[in-house]
Structures are given as C-alpha cells and as structure tokens.
Structure 1
Amino acid sequence: MGRPLHNERFAETALPKRTALPVFSADSLSSVAYAPDEIVLTLALAGISAVALSPWVGLAVVLVTAVVVAAYRQNLRAYPSGGGDFEIASKNLGRKAGVVVGSALMVDFTLVVAVSMSAAAQYLAAAFTSLIDHRTEVALVGVLLAGLLNLRGQQFMGRAAVVPTYLFVIVMFVLIGVGVVESVTGGLTPAPSSSWDVLPTADQQTAWSTLAMVMLILRAFSSGAVSVTGVESVAGSVQYFKKPKGRNAGTVLTIMGAISCVLLMGTIYLAQRTGAVVVLDPAAQLRIDGRAPTEDFYQNPLLGQLARSVFGLDTPMFYVVILATVLVLVFAASTAFSGFPALGSRLARDSFLPRQLKARGDRFAFTNGIIALLVAAALLVVLFRANVNGLVQLYVVGVFTSFTLTQAGMVRHWRRQRRYVHEPAARRRLIGTTVLAHVAFVLSATVLVIVLVTKFAQGAWITVVAMCLLGGLMLAIRRHYDFVDRDLKLERNSSARALPSRVHAMIIVPSVRKPAMRALAYARASRPSTLEAIVVDVSPAITTRILDEWRRLEIPVPVTVLDAPYRNSVQPVIDHLHRVRRRSPRDLVVVYLPEYVVGTWWERILHNQSTRALAGRLRFEPGVMIASVPWRVDSGDPAQTSSAGSGLQDPSSERTETR
C-alpha cells in the first residue's frame, strides 16, 4: 500500500497538533451523526412529549464529557508514554485490571468502525434512495476502504483526514449557525417529521407516572453517551504526536471535547426547534396522515432532516452536509484503525496477544492489527446488517469500563504521589488533581452502571460476553508465553548445550531421481554416525522399481523398506523413528527430505504434498531434526528447465534448509 519507508524516516510520521486533531478527533466529532438520533428515538418510546427532555439529556452528556476530558488531561501529564488506559490500569491496579481494560478497548474500537460505517451507509441512503436496500454492502466497502487507507501509514492518514474533518466541523457550525439565526428570526422551516404523530410503545403508556420513565431517560442518556468516545483514542495514541507529546495530546483532547459538546447541543437544539423526530420502530410508533408508514418508508437520520429544514431539500448545501458527514464517519473509523493496532502492539509486547501484532509494516503501520480489526468490524456489520441502533446498544460499555478502571488507577496513582510531595503549593495542586480523579471515577462508574442496567437486555450483554472471552483468551496467551519463556531459558548446565552422542541420518526416498540424490549427497557430506535410506512400501511395484534402480546405480547406502499396509506414507516413518529413539535416546536423528521448488503457485499444489505432511508430523518428535533439500525446477524458463533436467544446475545456488 505504498512505497516502503526507511527506518530513518520514522520521525516523519509524528503529527503536529493541526494534523493530529482531525485524525484523532474524527471519532468523537462524528458521534454527532448518531448520538442525538439515539437520544431522540429512545425518548420517543414514550411519545412525542418525552422528546422535550432531550436538551437535558444532552446537558448531562456534556457534563460527563467535560469531566472525562479534564481527567484525561491529567492522565496524559502523568503517563505521557502513550500506553494509555492499559498502562494506567496495569501499573496501578494489576495485571487483571489491565487485561479488562485492554479487552474493553479492543471491543470498543471494533464497534467504532462498525457503527461509523453503518451510519455512513445510512446517510448515503438518505441522499441516494437507490442505496437503501444496499446499506450493508456500502458499509462493508467503507470498512475495507478505511482499512486500506490506514495501511498506507499514519503520515498519509494525517494528510488525508485534514480536509474532510475540518470540512465537517465548518459545515456543522454553518448548519447550526444558520439554523439558530432562522430560529430567532422565525424563518426556520419545520422538519417533515414534525407533522407525524409519534405514538408511545405499549410498555410506555404509563411511563410518566412510573419508574419506567426514569429508566427511559437513563437509557436515552446512556445512548447519547457515545459522544464521549474518542477520548481513549487520543490517550492511547500519544506516540503519534510531535514533541512535547503529552502536552500536544492534551491540547488536542481539549479542543476535541469542546467542539464535540458544541455540535451535540447545537444539533439537539435544532432538532427541538424544527420538531424533527426519529423513532425506533416506524411501523408501530409513526402515523403519517393517520396511517402507518408504507413498507418502502425510509426514516432519514437527524442531521439529514436538519439540513433539509435549514437549507432545503436537494440544495447544494444539503448534499454538502451529507457528504461531509459521510467523510468524517469514514475517518472516525480510521481513528479506530490507529488506536486498535497501537493497543494490540502494546498488549503483544506484554505477551497478552500474539507477538505478530508488534510488527510494523513497510509504512510503519501495525499491519496485522489493521487487518484483524478490518475482519472483525466487517463481521459485525454483516451480523447486524449495518443497523446503527442495534450496534449502538453494544457501544459505550467497553469505553466506560475503561474509563472507570483507568480513573480508579489514577486515584491510586495520585494518592501514592502525595507521599513524596511536601511543598504546600504542589500538595494543593495534587489534592485538586486527586479530587478530579475521584469525581471522574464516580461519574464513569455511575454511567457504566446506568449503561449496564438500561441496555443489558438490548444487546449490551453481547459486549460483556465478548470482553470476558477476549480477556480470558489474553490471560491464556500470557500463560502460554510465560511457559514457553521458562522452558526455553538457557541455564549454565542446561542439557540443551550438550552434544548428541551420535547422529543418525535418514533420507526419505520417494523415487530414485535427482532430488533424492542431492539429499543423499548432502547427508553424506555431514558425516553422520549412521546413514540409511527409507522407502515406504505404499505400492509394491514402485518399491520394487526403487530397489532395482538402487542396485543398478550401486548407491553405497543401505535401504530400509517400511511396510505400509494401510497406504499411509507418514505413520510408518514415525514408528521407525520411535524404534530408533528407544534404542538410543541420547542420539540425534536427522531426516533429509528432498523437495521440488517450482516456479508458479499452481505447480506447488502438484508437488511435495506427502513431504509436507511428514514434515508437519516430524516437528513434534523430540530428538529429531528436519533438513529440507530443495531441487529447483525453473519451470517458468524453458532453457533453465532444460539445463535443470540435464543436471547442469549451479551447485552454488543450492542450500540446505534446516527446520
């Protein structure tokens, strides 16, 4: 995905604040494309009158955002290394807490991609009605596009995200500004949905006078809390910022939080002034001119309705709003494609995930992590058929689990720091920081409980199960790596340093041809203690032909014929090895496998299949080494093939591959 970058250019991948802001804030800013919808449609379960509470729910979300952003600024000052929530939880609360945070964030990043691309497909369908029945396919294309773009590296994404993200912010400020002016002057056009009748669902008929209404408001708040996400992306991506990394990340975090709060409240204000509504189940909750919507009815998302009210339908600005929203949603997914691989790399360094996730690709991107996220997000999109409301129910659980444990870790961190600070002014500052961490912890824990209580049955349980399974897998991987490290540790008197008493060499002879002779020559050159050729008697006619040819060429190596009554060419060799090992447990056995090396992929299917099966079994046998001896058949070049067939290969091109 681009020209490889030299190691010396790694410093160029660091992003200045003006570039880092669009890259890492797209996730938080884009939530305005679906967070207000979730607040409104949840309140609409109790009827149109309940939607009037949406500004108060929005204010509660803004309060949570402000506290979390302020707390994370302190986190970045204390832990500027870029380890983020995982590092804070691990160092202050222990390994298991770190694993919970790691699993929660990985699930959250996956949902960011799935929700963002599903919302993008929803907005495209609002502008181009021919895509209504193809939203899943559109979302999958978006996931693939975001993944491929991120494979080009963070520097490329920094340049690519600047225009779409800033365009979205400008367009949204214009939309809100013009809408507020029109609202004040009385020129704001009501939304088409304002004339529709919104009916409460059957279980909300008495919601105003029961606990059900309180639960509904809390559920609306938990749905709107998706706008707080994005904070964890900045905290876990400090390594991508230019120096001073922690300070720059804190500045970006503050600007991101402020813009996100303004956009959220501006959107909710316009939704209330235009009377725009969205509902969870149009067939049951909507009545248009006294009748239920037809089967081909499509409910436009909230921003689409506001753009139509402010700018008019089919005007250029209407399509600009839709385009800007779709683009920022694509780059919101790209934020997760930065955070997920970086977190995966950190977890892999601590042996909680496969160590392949540590590797950077040609463009300094964590390629394996990007591909893993791409596959996981695509599966979610398919399973939920790009349903934003269904995916949002899984959202927030992971991120607020991370927030809660992180702030609990920071409370312990600041308390520990107070022991070493004696200057009065410094202690006062530290007390203020500790109080902020306590407030953030209590608030995050409260939101987490609200989310679990109000959304567990709607799908949050899937996130909890996924976090538990992923956390258990991470602990199992860590135990495996710890066991392997202990097993491979070399002590002064380790038996691994002892030389074998003798070396037994065996050559597998499927036919008396040049590859077998080359393997025989290499085996003899190594001067083993004993040398034998192995022929597996799968077919008596072939075995007889091999033995006759062996005698005719007078090859000075004894042949051992192994009986294979069930036509299995692998098990007889394994049984023979076991007999040899029982006779001489301290001896080393080297099995030489002649192999063909051909020029094209389809030719590889035609050769070496029995050899590969045997090599796969031999790898698990103690005291056995495998030596692969390649014979190169240059099938792509007739001249080379001719020379190979005449035995004129360059000996210097041959090598023994020992596995």
Structure 2
Amino acid sequence: MLTDLKRLLIGQPLKSHELGEQKLNKKKALAILSSDALSSVAYGPEQILIVLITISAAAFWYTVPIACGVLFLLVALILSYRQIIFAYPHGGGAYVVSKVNLGMNAGLFAGGSLLVDYILTVAVSISAGTDAITSAFPSLHSYTVPIALALVLFITILNLRGITESASILAYPVYLFVIALLVLIGIGLFKILTGEISPDLHTPLGTPVAGISLFILLRAFSSGSSALTGVEAISNAIPNFKTPAPNNASKTLMAMGLLLAILFAGIIYLAYYYGIAPREKETVVSQIATVTFGRGLMYYIVQGTTAMILVLAANTGYSAFPLLAVNLAKDKFIARMFTMRGDRLGYSNGIIFLAVTSMLLIIVFKGQTEQLIPLYAVGVFIPFTLAQTGMLVKWFREKPRGWLLKLTVNLVGAFMSFIVMMIFFITKFGQVWSVLVFLPLIVFIFHQIKKHYDAIAEQLRLSSCEPALPIEGNVMIVPVAGFTHVVENSLNYAKSLSPDQIIAVYVAFERDDEKKFEEKWQKWQPDVRLVTLHSHYRSIVHPLTKFIDTVEHKASESNFRVTVIIPQFIPKKNWHNILHNQSSLLIRAFLLYKRNLVVTTVPYHLKK
C-alpha cells in the first residue's frame, strides 16, 4: 500500500540515462531559481517601513534613498555572481569559491550559512505566503501554522517528482506574479501621473524628521536588503541548467536582477506615494492593491499570485539545498546519503531533510515571518561576503586578462556585503546573535563528520590495516524460546554450517521451567547441546550476552569465531508485528556492537 501511495504522489521511477532530460532551460530556471529573490519584493519594502514607523509616518520618504542603496547593492551582487558562474561552472557557489580561495574553514562557514539559509528560505517564504492568504481572508488568521505546514508538504511532493516536472508546474504562478505586479505598478503610476492619487498622502522628499538617526537608517537599509536573498541560488545550481550551463545560468541571473530591480523600485515608490503604513494583519502589497484596484477581481489576482510566489519561493531552497549538500557530502562533511538520487533522479534525501527542518522552524516560530527574516538575511550575507572575498583572492593570484575590472566588481560586492552584514549584527544583534553560536557549532560538526569518515577509510584500506587472522572454525550459538518450527528452521541452518559446534541456549525465569525444558529437549534434539541459563530478574539479554562473552573469550584463544543465529518469525502482514514482543530484534541490537561476533537472523515466514 505504501509503495502504491508513493507511486501516486511522486510518479514512476526514472532510469538513470534519463538524467539529461531533467535539466532546466532559461525560462523554467528563471521561475524555479529566481522565485525566492522575486518574491522578496512582497516583504522587503515592508521591512523598511516597519523600522521607519518607529519614528513616525513622516519618515517614510526615507524609503526612496534607502531603496536606491539596496538597488546599488543588487547591481554589485548580480555582476559579482555572474563572474562566479563563469569561474566555477560546476556549481557550489560561495562554498566552492571560499573553499578554493580562502581555505576549508571559510568554505565550511559559507556552506553552513547557506544550508541554514535555504532552510530559512522555505520557512520564510511559506510563512510570508500564508500571511498573504490570511490578509485576503482574515478568518483564516488563526490557522497560520497548519496552512504553512500543508504548503510545505505540497512543495515537497512536487520536488520529489523531479525538477523538470516541478518547474513545468511552478513556472506559471511565478510569471503570473510578475505580470500582476507589473500591471499593479503600471496602473499605480498612471493614477499618480493623472492626479487620481492625492499628493497629500505622503511626506515630500527631504522633509526634516525629528528623531531620525543614522542607526535607524542603517537598520532600515539592512532590513530592505532582505529583498536580495536568493540572488546566489543560480550560482549554486549551475548543474541543473541545460548545456551550455554557464551561459544559460548567466543570462538567467541577469534577467532575474532586472525583474527584481523593477518590481522592488515600483513597490517602494507606490508605498511611499500612497502613504502606506505597515499593519499587523495586512501586508503592504495588499494595501497598495486595495488603493489601486479596490477589493475587486484585480486585487484578488494580485493577492493570489503574491501568495503563490511566496509559497513557491521555497522552491529555490529545494533546488539549491540538495546540490549544496551534495558538494559538502562529496567532501565528507555531511552524510553521504545526500549524494544519493531518488526514484525521480532528484536528491530526495536532501529534499526530505529540508522539508522536515523547515516545518520544525515554522512550528517553533509559529509562522511569524518578521521573526525569521533578520536571521534569514544575515545568514545569506555571510556567504555573500566570503564568496566575493574569495573571488578577490582568485583574481589577484591568477591575474587573467581583464583581471583589474573583475577585481573591482568583486571588491565592490565584497565591501557592500560586508557592510550590510555588519549593520545586521550591530543594529539587530538581539535577533541575529544566535548565528554566532550555531554557525561555529555547525562547522565543528562538519569537522567531526569528516574525521569520522577519514577514520573509517583508514581502517578499511587494505594497505593500512593489519592482516586478518585466519578463522579455524565456528561456534554456533542459537538462542531458543520453545519447541517451534522457527527454532527448528534455525537449528537446521546451523547444522548445515557447523554441525559439531552448535550450542542452543535457553533462558529460564523459573527453576521448574528450566528442568522441564531440558527433558523435552533431550527427546527433541538429542544431538544438539543445550545450555540453560537462569535469570533472577526476568531479563533475557543480560544472561545471554554474559554467556556469549564467555564462549567468545574461549573461542578466540583457538582462532574460532562465534556466530549467534537468532530465530525470527515474519508475520504475513506488517501490522501483526505490534502484537509481538520482538525479543529477537532486542537481542540483535545488543549483540551487533560486540567485537569479533557474527550475528545472523534466520527468518521463518508465516503463511497466515
């Protein structure tokens, strides 16, 4: 039944040679890999207003110069990551750039930041999309967390079906969102130019505002910079592009930057001119759409497409997280299971891990986007800074043709990213301090995993291991619990391997049971030696393992190996297992970690 459900949800398995068909063209890649960056215009401008409202509504005119600063940073990042795409065409982004040019630890800090950032991408995007839904339908506000969890589950299933199939489905809402916002901005500007919107709704540019400070402006700028999260995703996912991958990735990045600049600038200007103030239960985009269209069909189209792209922006995390995890896993810093492809040729372990961790975040933070965004944004500006700094080292070291221009581009990107990162730490330390704790912890865990894998490789390598001692024979120990076909099946198997070295072991709780069992055994299996053990505390495992240790110690002196054969019956239906005590599984769990001991389970399949 579970297999049928799996096939229904994610489809039939694909053959390995069909991997080439799972590549993205530019149109699909723009939708899948840019949805995070494009969707941030739905909450980036709002984050600026949330900071400025602490002074007064008169301070809203500062959104215009702050937006110009954010757009300048966007240009620097787009040009910088374009160079990264061509310099490192196999993907990996900030992790690979930092590792190669700044050292392994720098790479791990970048990689760890991005892994966490992609988890936050899903949590923030889904939470923001839920906010858009509850803004349009306020009666759903109390169901924020269940709606968000259901949306994560939906996106996860789509991605498990394969990147091409999910891109085909998810591309339409992304482009509908872009068109809807362009229409919103266009009609809004038309109404402003024709005088339908009163100029008295906003404070004129340059108006003095009491209480404004550089600290507040820097905090608002860093909040607005959250609109640039997701810019790096394309450089991490170059292997997902059709050939020539670097060229297609570069064009997609430039298209994303242009669209993001237009949408961000348009929303900022309309919010300023309309005099929009942030509200707890209605987003800024919802307010702009209400003023522009009223609560009619176009309003619901804008809100519907906004909600969809905010939800689908999570797909950027689903596209980039598994590929970054593959790079880290190949370098042995995270579990190798992340390198395995699933039935639909996607890295399903990475997808499932991302889904589970993001759902936990949504539950912990109760779907409150505002609490997640600062942590989300600072997490992405750390790898921004490291990646650009790594490129500076690369150009200075290699000095290729035109390297001074390339150096200048990355220098501006590194400087701006570093400034924004420091602004986050200075102005929002109370919200982002945890980065200083969990990021070094993540890097420490990376090193411990690498140490584990290196130790395993050293021990398994034939050239470095001590030669294995010859095995002169086998002592077979068979734990028995009664006179059944299960036990008989296991004894027959033991006899086929070592008929002269079999010891059956019975653990009794009562002395009378012990004696009766011995008498029956002599009649049933007189050729098999029986050892009965008395358990004073009704434990099977303790006396059994103590006996096995004794036998193993004596056997090792003669280069004999001890094999424990565990009888186990397998019910016809899986749910029948809950009706049995599973003592065989418990015994096996204890014995598997014993040195120089072989544990074998002999199954007996029931027919009813």
In the superposition, the TM-score normalised over structure 1's length comes to 0.87
Instruction: Name the CA distance, whole Å, in 2 between partners of 1:195 and 1:101.
Output: 42
Can you list the C-alpha shifts for 1:294-348, whole angstroms capped at 9, x where unaligned?
xxxx5411110111111112x1000000001011111101111111122122212
Instruction: Name the CA distance, whole Å, in 1 between partners of 2:376 and 2:41.
Output: 15
Q: What are the equivalent positions in structure 2 for 1:503-522 lying under 5 Å apart?
A: 503-522=474-493
Offset of residue 462 of structure 1: 2.7
Structure 2 counterpart of 1:489, one-letter code = R
Among 612, 617, 638, which residue is 2:585 paired with? 612
SS at match of 1:605: helix
**1:571 equivalent in alignment to 2:573:** no
Instruction: Name the CA distance, whole Å, in 1 between partners of 2:199 and 2:546.
Output: 83
SS at match of 1:395: helix
- Residues 397 and 451, structure 1, Cα contact 8 Å, conserved in 2: yes
Instruction: Name the CA distance, whole Å, in 1 between partners of 2:465 and 2:341.
Output: 37
Among 205, 208, 211, which residue is 1:207 paired with? 211
Identity between Structure 1 and Structure 2 (%): 33
- Residues 202 and 273, structure 2, Cα contact 8 Å, conserved in 1: no
Would you say how many aligned residue pairs link Structure 1 and Structure 2?
592
Instruction: Name the CA distance, whole Å, in 2 between partners of 1:440 and 1:386.
Output: 32
Comparing 625-634 with 181-190, which one deviates more in the overlay?
Answer: 181-190
SS at match of 2:334: coil
Can you list the C-alpha shifts for 1:530-563, whole angstroms capped at 9, x where unaligned?
2211111234344334322211124301111123
Among 383, 398, 411, which residue is 2:364 paired with? 383
- Residues 190 and 309, structure 1, Cα contact 8 Å, conserved in 2: no
Structure 2 counterpart of 1:633, one-letter code = L
SS at match of 2:434: helix
Corresponding residue for 1:651? none
Structure 1 counterpart of 2:460, one-letter code = L
Q: What are the equivalent positions in structure 2 for 1:26-425 lying under 5 Å apart?
A: 26-188=35-197, 207-208=211-212, 213-278=213-278, 299-313=281-295, 315-418=296-399, 421=400
Instruction: Name the CA distance, whole Å, in 1 between partners of 2:330 and 2:482.
Output: 47
Structure 2 counterpart of 1:83, one-letter code = G
Among 427, 431, 434, which residue is 2:404 paired with? 431
**1:481 equivalent in alignment to 2:490:** no
SS at match of 2:519: helix
Among 541, 552, 566, which residue is 2:523 paired with? 552
Corresponding residue for 1:3? 12
- Residues 153 and 363, structure 1, Cα contact 8 Å, conserved in 2: yes
Offset of residue 249 of structure 1: 0.7
Among 623, 634, 644, which residue is 2:607 paired with? 634
Structure 1 residue runs of 5 or longer lacking an equivalent are: 197-204, 280-297, 636-659
Instruction: Name the CA distance, whole Å, in 1 between partners of 2:416 and 2:202.
Output: 38
Among 555, 565, 574, which residue is 1:584 paired with? 555
Corresponding residue for 1:654? none
Corresponding residue for 1:638? none
Structure 2 counterpart of 1:564, one-letter code = S
Structure 2 counterpart of 1:552, one-letter code = K
Instruction: Name the CA distance, whole Å, in 2 between partners of 1:466 and 1:189.
Output: 49
Offset of residue 486 of structure 1: 1.5
- Residues 202 and 272, structure 2, Cα contact 8 Å, conserved in 1: no
Instruction: Name the CA distance, whole Å, in 2 between partners of 1:609 and 1:189.
Output: 76
Instruction: Name the CA distance, whole Å, in 2 between partners of 1:158 and 1:13.
Output: 10
Structure 2 counterpart of 1:339, one-letter code = A
Structure 2 counterpart of 1:521, one-letter code = N
Can you list the C-alpha shifts for 1:445-471, whole angstroms capped at 9, x where unaligned?
1111111111111x1123333323322
SS at match of 1:101: helix
- Residues 99 and 475, structure 1, Cα contact 8 Å, conserved in 2: no
Offset of residue 195 of structure 1: 9.8
Instruction: Name the CA distance, whole Å, in 1 between partners of 2:300 and 2:398.
Output: 53
- Residues 618 and 626, structure 1, Cα contact 8 Å, conserved in 2: yes
Offset of residue 117 of structure 1: 1.2
Structure 2 residue runs of 5 or longer lacking an equivalent are: 1-9, 204-208
**1:470 equivalent in alignment to 2:470:** no
In the superposition, the TM-score normalised over structure 2's length comes to 0.94
Can you list the C-alpha shifts for 1:596-619, whole angstroms capped at 9, x where unaligned?
011222212234621111111111
SS at match of 2:80: helix
SS at match of 2:551: helix
- Residues 596 and 608, structure 1, Cα contact 8 Å, conserved in 2: no
Instruction: Name the CA distance, whole Å, in 1 between partners of 2:286 and 2:465.
Output: 73
Offset of residue 225 of structure 1: 0.7
Can you list the C-alpha shifts for 1:555-597, whole angstroms capped at 9, x where unaligned?
3011111232222111112111221232232321001111001
Instruction: Name the CA distance, whole Å, in 2 between partners of 1:501 and 1:190.
Output: 96
Instruction: Name the CA distance, whole Å, in 2 between partners of 1:492 and 1:226.
Output: 51
- Residues 31 and 227, structure 1, Cα contact 8 Å, conserved in 2: yes
Among 563, 566, 575, which residue is 1:593 paired with? 566
SS at match of 2:506: strand
SS at match of 1:579: helix
SS at match of 1:505: strand
Instruction: Name the CA distance, whole Å, in 2 between partners of 1:493 and 1:22.
Output: 52
Structure 1 counterpart of 2:446, one-letter code = M
- Residues 138 and 281, structure 2, Cα contact 8 Å, conserved in 1: no
Can you list the C-alpha shifts for 1:410-456, whole angstroms capped at 9, x where unaligned?
111122222xx5xxxx2xx1221122222211111111111111111
Instruction: Name the CA distance, whole Å, in 2 between partners of 1:492 and 1:470.
Output: 31
Structure 2 counterpart of 1:352, one-letter code = F
Corresponding residue for 2:206? none
Corresponding residue for 2:533? 562
Offset of residue 492 of structure 1: 7.3
Corresponding residue for 1:451? 424
Instruction: Name the CA distance, whole Å, in 1 between partners of 2:501 and 2:369.
Output: 69
SS at match of 2:313: helix
Offset of residue 529 of structure 1: 6.1
Structure 2 counterpart of 1:120, one-letter code = G
- Residues 506 and 533, structure 2, Cα contact 8 Å, conserved in 1: yes
Structure 2 counterpart of 1:365, one-letter code = G
- Residues 90 and 96, structure 1, Cα contact 8 Å, conserved in 2: yes
Can you list the C-alpha shifts for 1:485-506, whole angstroms capped at 9, x where unaligned?
212222277323x321332111
Structure 1 counterpart of 2:501, one-letter code = T
Structure 1 counterpart of 2:366, one-letter code = R
Do the aligned partners of residues 489 and 97 (structure 1) sit closer, same or farther apart at CA in structure 2, a change above 3 Å counting?
same
Instruction: Name the CA distance, whole Å, in 2 between partners of 1:250 and 1:352.
Output: 29
Instruction: Name the CA distance, whole Å, in 1 between partners of 2:303 and 2:436.
Output: 34
Corresponding residue for 1:294? none
Corresponding residue for 1:441? 414
Instruction: Name the CA distance, whole Å, in 1 between partners of 2:198 and 2:493.
Output: 87
**1:501 equivalent in alignment to 2:476:** no
Instruction: Name the CA distance, whole Å, in 2 between partners of 1:603 and 1:74.
Output: 60
Corresponding residue for 2:3? none
- Residues 396 and 407, structure 2, Cα contact 8 Å, conserved in 1: yes
Offset of residue 136 of structure 1: 2.1
Corresponding residue for 2:462? 490
